[in-house]
């Protein structure tokens, strides 16, 4: 029996943690009630579980439970934040600021709003993928209603200075939204000290179930006005209609709680493994590290291999290793990554890139195996292609 591939695509998704699954299971059959059913035990049990989950998630980011809106994932949360703020605040202004390395779940809603007459400013990043705070400050206008900048990039793992960004927005009475899908449970997040008004979260990047997410929406200082994008039963205080999926919500809360509790130790472990992987590959020469060398997620390593075709390199590593050349949402396309191009990489170099996503299951032995496989594959391809 052949061994399964070594999984190094943890930015695309993660396996559900056994502890998370155990927490979820009772709510599929034993406690299967609708949280909105307030007249019997089954509904009360489900409602109690959702209430506790809401508290757990809120505590992880320094929020109040009433500020958590459950969604189907970070994509819906981003859409609700961006389009919801735009619709509810267009009388104040129709200008939005974001950066060019955002996930498509932010860029596409912005593009949609632009088609409706909103003006969107797409700020550049530097060679390391970081925003220039002076350029951000200069872009803010009297009619700017929202700044949306992700906490951690899904391709290059770069951590933006969200506390400083939040302070800039707070000083100008502009809402600040951050997509924290890749950040929750991996870096400290606090909506008060970081001046965050809206934050998108998902479960499946932190060993929780797919299809579960949440949006934090500040209720005071300032109170953020958003317009609902889904209408129906009026759930989530009218901000997001739809029957709450109790098993998913319970699983998301458990996943986040575990991630926060184990964050310090896991960050140190993954940083060490990532360093070992890079140190083994870099001597090949022609290897470029994409993104800031230290201001990045501990489990992220994005490398470009000069003179190679990334897809050929990927195929040469299969089926030993499961990884990707970029965002899982766009990996099926032949275009080079917009994130890597934004760093100044040529199309050829962007297409010669691999994203190594280390995670909870990654071992030192696996890193040694993968490093040896990459070195061997690169050497062989360079000989054959020249």
User: Which fold would CATH assign to domain 6-13+263-385?
Assistant: 3.90.1150
Query: What are the tens digits of pLDDT across the range 198-214?
Result: 999 999 999 999 999 99
Query: What are the tens digits of pLDDT across the range 3-42?
Result: 899 999 999 999 999 999 999 999 999 999 999 898 999 9
The overall longest dimension of the chain from CA atoms, in Å, is 73
d(CA 74, CA 317): 30
Q: How confident is the model at residue 334 (pLDDT cuts 50, 70, 90)?
A: low
Query: What are the tens digits of pLDDT across the range 226-282?
Result: 999 999 988 988 899 999 999 999 999 999 999 999 999 999 999 999 999 999 999
For the CA atoms of 195, 200, 83, 64, the dihedral, rounded to the nearest 10 degrees, stands at -60
Q: Which residues have a catalytic role annotated?
A: 329
What's residue 2's pLDDT?
75
Are 71 and 81 contacting, i.e. CB atoms less than 8 angstroms apart?
no
Q: How confident is the model at residue 309 (pLDDT cuts 50, 70, 90)?
A: confident
pTM of the model: 0.95
What's residue 385's pLDDT?
67
Whether the pLDDT of residue 323 is over 50: the answer is yes
Q: How confident is the model at residue 330 (pLDDT cuts 50, 70, 90)?
A: very low
Are 165 and 133 contacting, i.e. CB atoms less than 8 angstroms apart?
yes
Whether the pLDDT of residue 326 is over 80: the answer is no
Residue of 94 and 386 predicted with greater confidence: 94
- Residue found by looking up tokens 């032949």 in the block: 334
The domain ranges of the chain are 6-13+263-385, 18-257
3-class SS of residue 289? strand
Which CATH number applies to 18-257?
Answer: 3.40.640.10
């Amino acid at each position: 029996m052949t061994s399964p591939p070594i999984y190094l695509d943890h930015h695309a998704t993660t396996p559900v943690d056994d502890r998370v699954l155990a927490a979820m299971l009772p709510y599929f059959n034993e406690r299967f009630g609708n949280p909105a059913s307030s007249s019997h035990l089954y509904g009360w049990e489900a409602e109690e579980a959702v209430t506790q989950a809401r508290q757990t998630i809120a505590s992880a980011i320094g929020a109040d439970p009433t500020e958590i809106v459950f969604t189907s994932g970070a994509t819906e949360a981003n859409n609700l934040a961006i389009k919801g703020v735009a619709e509810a605040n267009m009388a104040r202004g129709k200008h939005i600021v974001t950066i060019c390395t955002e996930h498509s779940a932010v860029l596409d809603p912005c593009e949609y709003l632009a088609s409706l007459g909103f003006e969107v400013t797409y700020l550049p990043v530097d060679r390391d993928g970081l925003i220039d705070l002076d350029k951000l400050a200069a872009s803010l206008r009297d009619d700017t209603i929202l700044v949306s900048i992700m906490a951690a990039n899904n391709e290059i793992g770069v951590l933006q200075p969200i506390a400083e960004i939040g302070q800039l927005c707070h000083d100008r009475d502009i809402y600040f939204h951050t997509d924290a899908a890749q950040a929750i449970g991996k870096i400290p997040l606090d909506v008060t000290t970081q001046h965050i008004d809206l934050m998108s979260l998902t479960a499946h990047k932190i060993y929780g179930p797919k299809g579960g997410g949440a949006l934090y929406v500040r209720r005071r200082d300032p109170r953020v006005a958003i317009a609902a994008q889904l209408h129906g039963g009026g759930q989530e205080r009218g901000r997001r209609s739809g029957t709450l999926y109790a098993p998913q919500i319970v699983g998301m809360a458990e996943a986040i709680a575990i991630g926060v509790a184990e964050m310090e130790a896991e960050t140190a472990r993954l940083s060490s493994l990532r360093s070992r992987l890079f140190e083994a590959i870099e001597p090949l020469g022609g290897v470029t590290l994409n993104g800031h060398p230290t201001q990045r997620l501990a489990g992220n390593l994005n490398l470009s291999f000069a003179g190679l075709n990334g897809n050929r390199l990927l195929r040469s590593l299969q089926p030993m290793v499961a990884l990707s050349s970029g965002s899982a949402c766009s990996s099926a396309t032949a275009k080079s990554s917009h994130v890597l191009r934004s760093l100044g990489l040529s199309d050829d170099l962007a297409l010669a890139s691999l994203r190594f996503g280390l995670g909870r299951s990654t071992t030192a032995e696996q890193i040694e195996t993968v490093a040896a496989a990459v070195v061997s594959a690169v050497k062989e391809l360079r000989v054959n292609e020249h």
